[in-house]
């Protein structure tokens, strides 16, 4: 019961003190304070938030990662940092596993990676550059799942996230008077063409994918000026890294054709790429056994294909031999991840901590 209560206390603190990507200064200080209280060795960095902690002895290194940043969004009419993606829960579950393992006799080292900036899609790269994977053979992650994917009481050994990326564009045409549209090159016409083009992109229905406009900015306060310039952004996702590569080529070709048709320039920049999951069968089997050991066969759920993305999968892209899987915890989470009013069953925190601890024992 003490472990369970402490895990929930950690959650209460992090939930009440959210910080956005690469600004998790107080979060990192709190994590360092916890490590000192637990007499656990840790390492922080002068140039980036987050930390590593390590317990145990031996040559073999097993790692677990928790993401620590929050989103920036409107909550009850106020724009603020908000843990609506559940990273406060992820930190707490990993800390709960640490509580259970720190005094056990271990024949290996277990590294706890508290990673910044998952929401930006590049926090994992910052941790890799600072040695997060040195000597690591197995890596595990954890994340609460929305109710539509997994109810409370069910746990899956692996999340097959898709790939995601943003395409940012700038259209440069020519302004014109509203009475003389023939003298300009209307950026809004170009935006409309881009919207129609994106809707005509089709691939096999047996693999999920999507591309959609998510941001458009053009024009000023004067309503009699036809704007020649605009910026836009696309959110692009696919279930595999190979399909993502194909989608990027198709989008660039189409946008170049639209620019030529309308006689404008379109400058493009791909940003915040997150790769699709590369799940290890061995890591998934370890997590599967841990779920059954802790909760029984009835709690086990098959691996989940999810259209969301997570920068956890950069770890396997950058170190291909790494055996990795992210455990998904059913939590009756509603209305959904990233919703400003996201809620979940707090009992899931203890479930996740116990499953993670057993997974790390078995790895």
Q: Are 329 and 144 in contact (CB under 8 A)?
A: yes
pTM greater than 0.85 (yes/no): yes
Residue 166, burial from CB neighbour count under 10 angstroms (0-12, 13-18, 19+):
middle
Question: Quick one: pLDDT at residue 120?
Answer: 87
pLDDT digits (tens, 9 = 90+) for 102-130: 999 999 999 999 999 999 888 999 999 99
* CA 170/CA 172 separation, integer angstroms: 7
Question: Quick one: pLDDT at residue 109?
Answer: 98
Q: What's the pLDDT band for 199 if we cut at 50, 70, 90? A: very high
pLDDT digits (tens, 9 = 90+) for 329-347: 999 999 999 999 999 999 9
Question: Quick one: pLDDT at residue 99?
Answer: 98
pLDDT digits (tens, 9 = 90+) for 51-80: 999 999 999 999 999 999 999 999 999 999
Question: Quick one: pLDDT at residue 196?
Answer: 98
DSSP string, 88-124: HHHHHHHHHHHHHHTTS--SSEEEEEEE--TTTT-HH
Question: Quick one: pLDDT at residue 200?
Answer: 96
Question: Quick one: pLDDT at residue 113?
Answer: 98
Which DSSP state fits 215? E
* CA 7/CA 290 separation, integer angstroms: 19
Average confidence (pLDDT) over 291-319: 95
Q: Could you tell me which of 67, 98, 100, 251 has the C-alpha nearest to residue 166?
A: 251
pLDDT above 70 (res 256): yes
Give the C-alpha distances (Å, rounded to integers) separating 35 from 41, 91, 108, 308: 7, 13, 19, 31
Q: Please state the φ and ψ torsions of residue 5, each to the nearest 5 degrees.
A: -65, -40
Alpha carbon of residue 42 to chain centroid:
24
Strand partners, 226: 176
pLDDT digits (tens, 9 = 90+) for 145-160: 999 999 999 999 999 9
Question: Quick one: pLDDT at residue 105?
Answer: 95
pLDDT digits (tens, 9 = 90+) for 158-171: 999 999 999 999 99
Question: Quick one: pLDDT at residue 272?
Answer: 85
3-state secondary structure of 198: helix
* CA 95/CA 35 separation, integer angstroms: 10
Question: Quick one: pLDDT at residue 56?
Answer: 97
Q: Are 350 and 142 in contact (CB under 8 A)?
A: no
Q: Looking at 1-5, 89-93, 130-134, 340-344, which range is the least confident one?
A: 1-5
Q: Are 72 and 24 in contact (CB under 8 A)?
A: no
Share of the chain above pLDDT 70, in %: 100
Block residue for tokens 């003490």: 2
Question: Quick one: pLDDT at residue 1?
Answer: 65
């Amino acid at each position: 019961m003490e472990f369970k209560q402490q895990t929930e206390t950690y959650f209460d603190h992090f939930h009440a003190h959210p910080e956005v990507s690469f600004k998790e200064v107080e979060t990192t200080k709190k994590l360092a304070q916890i490590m000192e209280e637990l007499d656990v060795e840790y390492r922080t960095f002068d140039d980036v938030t987050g930390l590593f902690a390590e317990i145990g002895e031996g040559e073999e290194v097993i790692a677990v990662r928790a993401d620590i940043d929050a989103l920036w969004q409107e909550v009850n009419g106020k724009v603020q940092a908000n843990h609506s993606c559940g990273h406060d829960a992820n930190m707490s579950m990993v800390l709960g596993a640490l509580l259970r393992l720190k005094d056990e006799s271990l024949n290996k080292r277990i590294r706890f990676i508290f990673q910044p900036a998952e929401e930006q899609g590049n926090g994992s790269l910052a941790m890799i550059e600072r040695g997060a994977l040195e000597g690591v053979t197995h890596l595990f992650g954890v994340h609460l799942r929305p109710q539509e994917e997994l109810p409370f009481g069910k746990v899956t050994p692996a999340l097959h996230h898709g790939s995601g990326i943003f395409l940012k564009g700038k259209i440069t045409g020519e302004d014109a008077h509203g009475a003389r549209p023939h003298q300009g090159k209307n950026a809004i016409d170009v935006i409309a063409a881009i919207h129609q083009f994106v809707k005509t992109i089709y691939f096999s229905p047996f693999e999920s994918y999507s591309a959609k406009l998510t941001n458009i900015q053009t024009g000023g306060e004067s309503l009699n000026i036809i704007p020649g310039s605009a910026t836009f952004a696309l959110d692009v996702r696919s279930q595999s890294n190979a399909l993502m590569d194909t989608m990027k080529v198709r989008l660039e070709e189409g946008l170049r054709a639209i620019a030529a048709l309308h006689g404008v320039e379109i400058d493009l920049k791909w940003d915040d790429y997150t790769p699709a999951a590369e799940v290890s069968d061995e890591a998934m089997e370890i997590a599967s056994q841990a779920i059954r050991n802790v909760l029984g066969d009835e709690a086990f759920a098959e691996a989940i294909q999810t259209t969301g993305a997570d920068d956890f999968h950069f770890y396997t892209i950058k170190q291909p031999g790494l055996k990795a899987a992210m455990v998904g915890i059913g939590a009756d989470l509603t209305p959904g991840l990233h919703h400003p009013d996201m809620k979940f069953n707090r009992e899931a925190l203890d479930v996740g901590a116990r499953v993670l601890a057993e997974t790390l024992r078995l790895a």
